[in-house]
C-alpha cells in the first residue's frame, strides 16, 4: 500500500474541499491518505509518504505563506524525497488568477527534491494539476479525484 500525503492551505475552505476530493481519488485505488494543513506537516510526514500532493489558494500568483513555509521547511528532508511522486493543486477567485503559476511554484520544489512530478491525467483536461475557481464544482471534484488516483497509481509503480 502506498501512502499519500495531501498538504494544503485554506482560508475559505475551497482548497480543503478540493484536497478531500483528491484524497478520495487516491483512496479509490487503495492508497492510504493523510490530509494535513501545511503548517502541521512534519519532516517525518514528508519522508514517510510515497506521494506528496500540495495545494494552495492563489496569493498574487504564488502559494500562500503557509505553503511556502512548508516548502522552505522541506529542506530538512533534502535527499530523502528522491523518486517520490509529487503533484499540485490550486484554487483562486478568478478564472486566470494565477493557478498555473502557483502550481508551478510547488512543482519547482518537487523537482529540486528530485521527485517525479505528475500533472492532471488527460481525462481531467488540465495540465499542471487540479485547479478551480471559487468553490469546487462537481466537475472540479471529479478532476481532483482523477489527480489523486493518478498520483497513487504512479506511486505504486515507483514503489514497485
Query: Which stretches in the chain have pLDDT values below 50?
Result: none
Write out the DSSP string of 108-133: HHHHHTTPEE----GGGT-SSEEEEE
Q: How high is the pLDDT of residue 137?
A: 97
Cell, residue 75: 529542506
Each residue's pLDDT tens digit, 80-125: 999 999 999 999 999 888 999 999 999 999 999 999 999 988 887 7
- Domains of the chain (ranges; CATH) run 3-159 (3.40.50.360)
Q: How high is the pLDDT of residue 12?
A: 95
Q: How high is the pLDDT of residue 95?
A: 87
- Among candidates 73, 29, 25, 76, which has minimal Cα distance to 53? 25
Distance CA 22, CA 143 (A): 8
C-alpha separations of 118 from 43, 140, 147 in Å = 22, 18, 9
Q: How high is the pLDDT of residue 122?
A: 81
Q: How high is the pLDDT of residue 14?
A: 98
**What predicted TM-score, i.e. pTM, was given to this entire model?**
0.97
Q: How high is the pLDDT of residue 121?
A: 83
Amino acid at each position: 500500500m502506498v501512502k499519500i500525503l495531501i498538504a494544503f492551505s485554506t482560508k475559505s475552505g475551497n482548497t480543503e474541499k478540493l484536497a478531500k476530493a483528491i484524497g478520495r481519488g487516491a483512496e479509490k485505488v487503495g492508497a492510504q491518505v493523510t490530509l494535513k494543513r501545511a503548517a502541521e506537516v512534519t519532516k517525518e510526514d514528508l519522508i514517510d509518504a510515497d506521494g506528496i500532493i500540495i495545494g494552495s489558494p492563489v496569493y498574487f500568483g504564488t502559494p500562500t505563506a503557509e505553503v511556502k513555509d512548508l516548502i522552505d521547511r522541506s529542506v530538512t528532508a533534502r535527499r530523502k524525497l528522491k523518486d517520490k511522486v509529487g503533484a499540485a493543486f490550486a484554487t483562486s477567485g478568478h478564472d486566470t488568477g494565477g493557478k498555473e503559476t502557483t502550481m508551478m511554484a510547488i512543482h519547482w520544489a518537487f523537482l529540486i527534491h528530485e521527485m517525479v512530478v505528475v500533472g492532471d491525467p488527460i481525462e481531467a483536461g488540465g495540465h499542471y494539476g487540479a485547479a478551480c475557481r471559487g468553490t469546487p464544482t462537481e466537475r472540479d471534484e471529479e478532476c481532483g479525484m482523477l489527480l489523486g488516483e493518478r498520483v497513487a497509481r504512479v506511486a505504486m509503480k515507483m514503489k514497485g
